[in-house]
Structure 1
Amino acid sequence: MTAPSSSGYIDTYYRRTLTSSEDYPRATGHIEADICIVGGGLAGLTAALKLARLGRSVVLLEENRIAWGASGRNGGFVAAGYATGLDSIARHVGQHQAHELYRLSMEGVEIMRTHIDMLGIREASPVSGIAKALRYHSGGALKASSEKQRRDFGMQLRYLKRDEVRALYNSPKYQEAVLDEDAFHFHPLNYARALAREAAKQGSSIYEQSAAVSAELDGARKRIRTKEAMIEAGQVLFATGGYTGRVVPALRRAFLPISTYVLLTEEAPDLVRDAIRTDAAILDDRRAGDYYRVVDEGRRILWGGRITTRVGDPRNIATLLQREMVTTYPQLEPLKVEVGWSGLMSYARHLMPQIGQLQPGVWYCTAFGGHGMNTTAIGGTIIAEGMAGESDRYRLFAPFGLSWNGGILGKAAAQLTYWAYQATDAIREFGQR
């Protein structure tokens, strides 16, 4: 059996466990299509598949490899919600529209689950359950909010008291949690590559190593150029993220590139299971917190956390995250790290996805940082519906447009905000001692 091709991907757990070997060609020459999609992450792939199924001819351009960026190197968490909370969304658009947006986020989870089931993507390795855990006593607020979500949205949530939490996550830090049994975690790179295969099967033309270098967007026929090709299309969708270039300045100015970090431990099943006694993943409720899960049937831990506005990788990724891991689970101090990596996410200042129409025939679907899996799925779906004239559900995101990211001051503010979250977390946890 030929080993899967991992050429072009950075070293991550997901690259090491690829299950497919197909490569896609570079775009060359003059290519015509109904729709050109720029960006081969989960949003672009979801849109490409949807549009191909609707009978549109689609060309998808990816600068590197399919899901090379955040789509293929994240924590692999799929749960309802956005990077900002429901109350914050309601303050911006009102309660009714906030609830509609939240239901869309739930639909995003089901879209991904349906893709996995209907396309038989076993290599995505989905595992049910994500727990939201607190390091402080909420005074009944967590239980009340989970009960409200059950009433309002029919979510399958189970409140866990301290003893129940610690029976699953053997850490002295956690005080209470809510287990979302509708959520799941999975292998995002294998999933993304399966979407690409299906989109190609449905007629989409996918090109890797084909960065868009210029765009002419004002005419009836849009022109996107790469170094070796010119694509003409009636409509264009920009579905790039943290690695967005300067082809469309309005998109470049509208997001903040934020780095997050992930590590993979060595194989040590006894040590791992002494700490984490469930396959359900965990999302630390701290605003400056961690997210982690067991992989390889409980033999290793995949641990993510920390964010910075720096673009380059710090040399001590593994050391920083291992310190967080051992602070949470002192018994894991002997556990060694095999590899650490980072990736750039795109965040809008309002912390919501940016989904809409820039001008006639020119669409965007981006800024999924902080809660990207379900939102890329619903974003790619509803933007495809809009491009095909099937629905205008994308308009629900109109209040969260392409607001300026603040430039250098915006990056500084984002970093200062994160440090403030860390300080608040530390103070709140100190009160539990």
Structure 2
Amino acid sequence: MRDYPNTYYSATRRPAADCAPLRGTAAADVCVIGGGLAGLSTAWELVRRGRSVVLLEAQRIGWGASGRNGGFVLQGWSEGLRKIEARCGQDHARALFALSVEGVEIVRGTIAGHALPGCNPTPGKLSVTRYEAADQLQRHRDHMARTYGYEFTYLDRPTLRGLLKSDIYFQALRDTVGFHFHPLNYCLGLAGLIEGAGGRLFEGTAMTGIHRDGMVGGTAGTGGRWRVETADGSVACHDVVMCGGGYGGPEFGPLRRAFLPIATYVVLTERLGDRLQDHVATTDAVGDDRRSSDYYRVVEGDRLLWGGRITTRYEQDERRLAALLRRDISGVFPGLAKVRIEKAWSGLMGYARHKMPHIARIEDGLWSCSSFGGHGMNTAPIGGRVIAEAITGESDRIRLFAPYGLTWNGGIFGPAAADLVYAGLRLMDFWQESRSRRQGA
């Protein structure tokens, strides 16, 4: 079991007791595999509904992408709503969008209702453009209000540049419902709630295999209990929920063949003091319109937590990471070209080719709640709720994700294809932004 990586979040995490590894056998109604936000959300929703739960985490609670991301909790999905409408129809798209908003409220309500410490929720998010898009943004604002009942505030160029003092940006939409927070402390808070409600959590316990175990009602092979194997024990259960993210291996079977591990890079700057107001005069989180976007927010009052560089390359050299993202920061705010980077890290997320999560029943008693890369921190909580409702028979909302199944990730060719796609998207960004600057000159 590895300790937490050296990130801003691990340095400021709340005190929490370690969970022992699983030794020997255990039994539960449900075994949840993965102690990130998806696994914790699923376990919490199940124990609240009276199910006994065992959760297995290969490393530490929130060790992977769930505990080292940008910390954005926002409406929507990684796949755009227009594309969801085209694939599923507008009524279906509305239902999926409503689920994403419900996910935001789950996180907000859990923090407030249980007074989870150290989460530091801060409202507001600016979606900014790097090219002239006034008409486009206002049409999108109107479409969201008319079709989805969701309100954005439009910011013109002078207003935006009063908040983000950069010549790079043109216009923005402000989301006043979304917020940003400390994701690792939220994960640790959920773990405490699960244990307090009787759930059992095991760290340093990697799943090594899953198979049917025994007979129920005299019929072998169908409807039987499952057995989840680990190096030093096993769990017998009625249902298994696989919540592994970008770090999941071949033991995840069809789920691992359906997602790609995609990396993102994040840095934390030195304290900027009064200099911050010369560049960033808002507490809103910020994300730009690039296909491989920059995203950032202010933490501790005067530091920037900055992320970006979506890629299949899992870079762990902190000096290289710092240099890459310092270059991105100075491209937006030239006055920060020499800013000191105090921490730099990367993480792997699970991405699906269709850009929607894998929330599905794989077979009787075997479920997936995974592939939340690029979605923000609202989607895993609503995924956990939908899975729990399906297991308990409370609802069939899981059917809303049926159009987005476990499609093949491309196998050994998947990462190379993804890099080629991202390279093309970056070229499109460059062309679009250059054209806008020429027109504005």
TM-score tier after normalising by the smaller chain length: over 0.9
Measure the CA separation in 2 of the matches of 1:312 and 1:123. 28
Counterpart contact for 1:261–1:341, Cα < 8 Å: yes
2:269 equivalent among 262, 265, 270: 265
Structure 2: give runs of 5+ residues left out of the alignment.
Answer: 213-220
Instruction: Report the CA distance shift for 1:122/1:154 in structure 2 as closer, same or farther (over 3 A).
Output: farther
Residues 176-196 of structure 1: CA deviation (Å, up to 9, x unaligned): 000000010000000010000
Q: Are 2:259 and 1:255 equivalent residues in the alignment? A: yes
**Which residue identity lines up with residue 206 of structure 2 in the other structure?**
A
Select the residue among 353, 360, 363 that pairs with 2:357.
353
Of 119, 143, 151, the match for 1:148: 143
Paired letter, 1:126 = P
Question: Hey, what's the Cα distance between the residues in 2 that align with 1:331 and 1:429?
Answer: 21
- Residue matched to 1:23: 18
Distance (whole Å) between structure 1 residues aligned to residue 169 and residue 128 of structure 2: 6
How far apart are the structure 2 equivalents of 1:165 and 1:418? 28
Output the CA distance in 2 between the equivalents of 1:171 and 1:424: 21
- Name the counterpart of 1:290: 294
2:108 is the alignment partner of 1:113: yes
Which range moved further: 15-24 or 125-134? 15-24
Matched, 1:207 2:210: no
Q: How does 1:157-172 map to 2 (within 5 A)?
A: 157-172=152-167
Aligned partner of 2:217 in structure 1 is: none
Are the equivalent residues in 2 in contact too, given 1:65–1:208 (CA < 8 A)? yes
Q: Structure 1 residue 186 and structure 2 residue 181: aligned?
A: yes
* Corresponding residue of 2:305: 302
The equivalent residue for 2:346 is 342
Q: Which amino acid aligns with 1:369?
A: G
Instruction: List structure 1 runs of 4+ shifted beyond 6 angstroms.
Output: none
Mapped contact 2:152–2:174 kept (Cα < 8 A): yes
Q: Is contact 1:155–1:182 with CA below 8 Å preserved after alignment?
A: no
Contact 1:271 1:332 in 2 (8 A): no
2:295 match: secondary structure:
strand
2:216 is matched with none
Q: Is this contact kept in 2: 1:355–1:397, CA < 8 A?
A: yes
Greater alpha carbon shift after TM alignment, 59-68 vs 119-128: 119-128
1:287 shift after superposition? 0.7
Q: CA deviation at 1:44?
A: 0.9
Question: Residue 86 in 1 paired to residue 86 in 2?
Answer: no
Deviation at 1:119, TM superposition (A): 0.9
Contact conserved, 2:117 with 2:189, CA < 8 A, in 1? no
Cα pair 2:141 2:151 within 8 Å, conserved: no
1:395 and 2:399 aligned: yes
Indicate whether 1:426 and 2:425 are aligned.
Answer: no
Per the alignment, residue 327 of structure 1 pairs with 331
Cα-to-partner distance string for 1:73-109 (whole Å, 9 max, x where unaligned): 0000010011110011112111211111111111111
- Post-superposition CA distance 1:268-302 (Å, at most 9, x none): 221222111010010111112200000002x1000
Aligned pairs, how many?
A: 427
Structure-1 separation of matches of 2:306 and 2:15: 25
Structure 1, 159-168 or 268-277: larger mean CA deviation: 268-277
| Rounded Cα–Cα distance in structure 1 between residues aligned with 2:338 and 2:360 | 49
Q: Are 1:222 and 2:217 an aligned pair?
A: no
Cα distance, 1:333 vs structure 2: 1.7
Q: State which of 135, 138, 144 in structure 1 corresponds to 2:133.
A: 138
Whole-angstrom distance in 1 between the partners of 2:280 and 2:52: 47
Question: Is the 2:314–2:348 Cα contact (8 Å) retained in structure 1?
Answer: yes
Q: Could you tell me which amino acid in structure 2 is paired with residue 142 of structure 1? A: L
Distance in 2, Cα, partners of 1:270 & 1:76: 24
Q: Secondary structure at the match of 1:147?
A: helix
Q: Note if contact 1:258-1:309 (Cα within 8 Å) is conserved in structure 2.
A: yes
- Aligned pair 1:38/2:33, yes or no? yes
Q: Which residue of 1 aligns with 2:237?
A: 233
Which residue of structure 2 lines up, in the alignment, with residue 313 of structure 1? 316
TM-score with structure 1 setting the length: 0.96
Unaligned runs of 5+ in 1: 1-5
8 Å CA contact 1:350, 1:400 repeated in 2: yes
The CA deviation at 1:313 is 2.7
Paired residue for 1:3? none
Q: Which amino acid aligns with 1:132?
A: S
Distance 1:40 1:333 in 2: 38
Secondary structure (helix, strand or coil) at the match of 1:80 reads: coil
3-state secondary structure, aligned to 2:207: coil
Quick one: which amino acid aligns to residue 316 of structure 2?
Answer: D
- Tell me the SS of whatever aligns to 1:373: coil
| SS of 1:431 mapped into structure 2 | helix
What secondary structure, in the 3-state scheme, does the structure 2 residue paired with 1:213 have? Answer: strand
Query: Could you tell me how far 1:7 is from its partner in structure 2?
Result: 7.1
Distance in 1 between residues matched to 2:26 and 2:68, nearest whole Å: 31
Residue 58 (str. 1) matches residue 61 (str. 2): no
